């Protein structure tokens, strides 16, 4: 484990414990099967980053409500788990968090319905805040995420996908959830509009950096570390920033070779290695790294109005960590 | 069209027009594809029964809010459409509302995500009520429905399914939505607890009667009228009340024959005809009809506190219609 990761873990140990406990206590399914399927992914050791962001945002804004904030933080893990389960069905992915995806352990129908259940659990927890603004954020996130995934699907294998469209897709599918988690932390704490907006910005930029890093890791990291197959995005026809940028810069036989490989959508590990070398040569990897770093910088910048506070330091560390994975 | 259906249609002509308009106006998807996929089922001529129930309940309780009630009524059609789309993916159904199901026109991934989008639209409209109680009802409906479907799935081909379990499944998958639509009509109108509860009861009993009638029609009506294949439930391994009851009463070779056919899950139209004859002989059809009639009676009974009002008459007619389809 990196030093930074250890530092963050130490700083939020109690928060993570509170989140784990709240995730178990608030799931209450009526049937054993629902418990098993929902728990399969939910308790397979995710980073709990989204609920953690909500907790930290709430702390930064001086949350003093009667309900433990962790019971609201779970909104974002349930919602995240719901979308992961649906996305795995959608992508036909085999591995998730290092284990067989739910739709393969059980079947796609059970996975779809369990995703629906987790989404509903997320809503029910949001209702407990007693704030329609919070409900609005959750509804908005769900709308954006489903549309982002549909747009991504419609661009499957699309070699003309632009950087602009890519940015819109990752905003919808990833950044809005980070953003929403931070905003809800501010909302339940009756924070000023300025503080709400600052946390919203932080979440947005962190989410963008995070997804760019993920998209880069799909080319630069081993399957064992990823917890899923490397090069999976391209096999699924998903063009991400490293490829979009490299395709833009490449010419001649290199461009033709890359195009042919992407069209085929299936490749040996040698061919994959050669592709990664081309992505590096044509600047796709570096460019993605730089764009992610810029979002990290903006994320930190957004928090300036809070001055120095322990929670600000952790949020800084989290954004540095998002980038350190690919630096 | 039956006289009763014509009478209802005439009484609610303006309401149905308002619902149709609100369904179009409130969908606002960001992408054309989402519009197409969501619109495919949404605008294929459903009965709009659930939004209509909300409108009628609101009228009965003297709704006077600034927002046209139809903008809240669509909550229940979007939610219904979302679950239909997911259920068709889950069941692998080919036909819906007389046309090819969305997951076959496009693909299952697009259908899953469009269902998620419609669910999210439903929530966003619910947020507009500004009432967390309404959000709680919607979250609760979604939890119950997904769990009901999962339970139904887990009972696929289960010859030991009891009537009690069946009733729990249809409560979750159908009655809670009818119930929720009626309750929300009361909530947005600031109705007394007594009136809320009466409308809740009406919705519950109507929903139970409606699903029982649907389950019966699957054995007694032609595919063209159903808008989907007759005998579909059994082909999907879904045991419903007519079969549960007949299996309970049958003995000897008849019972063995029925059991074998259900286990096989595939049958000729002759075999299906013979099965329906056995369901009739062993009282499965009549029993289901009687149970549905009893729920219709209780639905009407629940409305007694409202006295005589035009909306009460329509609600009575709707419950009579639910039963008239199978009487």
**What is the distance in angstroms between the Cα of B241 and the nearest Cα belonging to chain A?**
22
Report ipTM for this prediction. 0.88
pLDDT category of residue A179 using cuts at 50, 70 and 90: very high
Average pLDDT over residues B163-189: 97
Q: Is the pLDDT of residue A71 over 70?
A: yes
Per-residue CA distances from A106 to A119, B154, B192 (Å): 19, 11, 45
Distance CA B213, CA B241 (A): 10
Does the pLDDT value for residue B227 go beyond 80?
no
Return the pLDDT at B318: 95
Q: What percent of chain A has pLDDT over 70?
A: 97
| Record: fold of B3-324 | Farnesyl Diphosphate Synthase (1.10.600)
**Predicted local distance difference test score (pLDDT) of residue A285:** 96
B211 touches chain A (CB under 8 A): no
| Residue B91: band (very low, low, confident or very high) from pLDDT cuts 50, 70, 90 | confident
What is the arithmetic mean of pLDDT over A178-207? 98
CA distances from B150 to A79, A138, B133, B160 (A): 19, 24, 26, 17
The pLDDT-based confidence of B106 (bands split at 50, 70, 90) is: confident
Per-residue pLDDT tens digits for B127-168: 999 999 999 999 999 999 998 988 888 888 899 999 999 999
Alpha-carbon gap, residue A202 to A222, rounded angstroms: 30
Q: Check whether B226 has a pLDDT greater than 60.
A: no
Quick one: pLDDT band at residue A1, thresholds 50, 70, 90? Answer: low
Per-residue confidence (pLDDT) for residue A224, from 0 to 100: 56
Residue of B132, B144, B172, B177 best to disrupt the A interface, most CBs of A under 10 A: B132
Q: Name residue, tokens 């909300």.
A: B54
Strand partners, B96: B99
Which chain B residues contact residue A131 at CB under 8 A? 132
pLDDT tens by residue, A148-161? 988 888 888 899 99
Q: For residue A27, give both structure tokens.
A: 């799931």
Give me the residue spans of the domains in chain A.
3-324
Helix (H) or strand (E) holding B114: helix B108-127
User: Measured between CA atoms, how close is B199 to chain A, in angstroms?
Assistant: 22
Please report the pLDDT score of residue B228 as a whole number: 58
Q: Report residue A268's pLDDT band, with 50, 70 and 90 as the boundaries.
A: confident
Q: How far is B254 from chain A (nearest CA, A)?
A: 33
Q: What is the mean pLDDT of residues A196-205?
A: 98
Query: Where do the H-state alpha helices sit in chain A?
Result: 3-11, 13-25, 32-42, 49-60, 70-91, 102-105, 108-127, 132-154, 163-170, 176-187, 193-220, 223-226, 232-235, 241-249, 252-264, 269-281, 284-302, 310-324
Q: What is the mean pLDDT of chain B?
A: 91
Model pLDDT for residues B32-84, shown as the tens digit of each residue: 777 888 888 787 778 899 999 999 999 999 999 999 999 999 999 999 999 98
User: Chain B partners of A117 at a C-beta cutoff of 8 Å?
Assistant: 142-143, 146-147, 150
A200 and A182 in contact (C-beta within 8 Å)?
yes
Residue A139, chain B, CB below 8 Å: the answer is yes
Q: What is the mean pLDDT of residues B254-274?
A: 90
Any idea which of A200-214, A286-300, B152-166 has the lowest mean pLDDT? B152-166
């Amino acid at each position: 484990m990196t030093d930074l990761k250890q530092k963050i873990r130490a700083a939020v140990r109690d928060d993570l414990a509170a989140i784990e406990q709240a995730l178990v206590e608030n799931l209450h399914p009526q049937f054993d099967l629902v418990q098993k399927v929902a728990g399969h992914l939910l308790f397979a050791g995710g980073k709990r980053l989204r609920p953690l962001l909500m907790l930290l945002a709430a702390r930064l804004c001086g949350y003093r409500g009667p309900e433990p904030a962790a019971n609201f933080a779970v909104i974002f893990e349930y919602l995240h788990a719901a979308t992961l389960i649906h996305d795995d069905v959608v992508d036909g992915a085999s591995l998730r968090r290092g284990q067989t995806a739910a739709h393969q352990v059980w079947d796609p129908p059970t996975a779809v319905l369990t995703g629906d259940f987790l989404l509903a659990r997320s809503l029910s927890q949001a209702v407990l805040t007693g704030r329609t603004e919070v409900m609005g954020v959750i509804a908005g996130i769900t709308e954006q995420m489903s549309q982002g995934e549909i747009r991504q699907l419609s661009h499957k294998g699309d070699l003309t996908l632009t950087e602009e469209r890519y940015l819109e897709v990752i905003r919808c599918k990833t950044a809005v959830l980070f953003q929403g988690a931070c905003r809800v932390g501010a909302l339940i704490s009756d924070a000023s509009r300025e503080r709400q907006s600052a946390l919203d910005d932080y979440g947005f930029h962190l989410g963008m950096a995070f997804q760019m890093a993920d998209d880069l890791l799909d080319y630069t990291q081993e399957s064992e570390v990823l917890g899923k197959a490397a090069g999976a995005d391209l096999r699924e026809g998903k063009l991400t920033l490293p490829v979009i940028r490299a395709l833009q810069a490449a010419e001649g036989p290199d461009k033709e070779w890359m195009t042919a490989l992407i069209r085929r959508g299936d490749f040996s590990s040698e061919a994959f290695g050669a592709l990664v070398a081309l992505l590096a040569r044509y600047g796709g990897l570096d460019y993605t790294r730089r764009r992610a770093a810029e979002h990290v910088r903006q994320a930190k910048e957004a928090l300036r109005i809070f001055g120095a506070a322990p929670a600000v330091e952790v949020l800084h560390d989290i954004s540095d960590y998002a980038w350190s994975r690919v630096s």
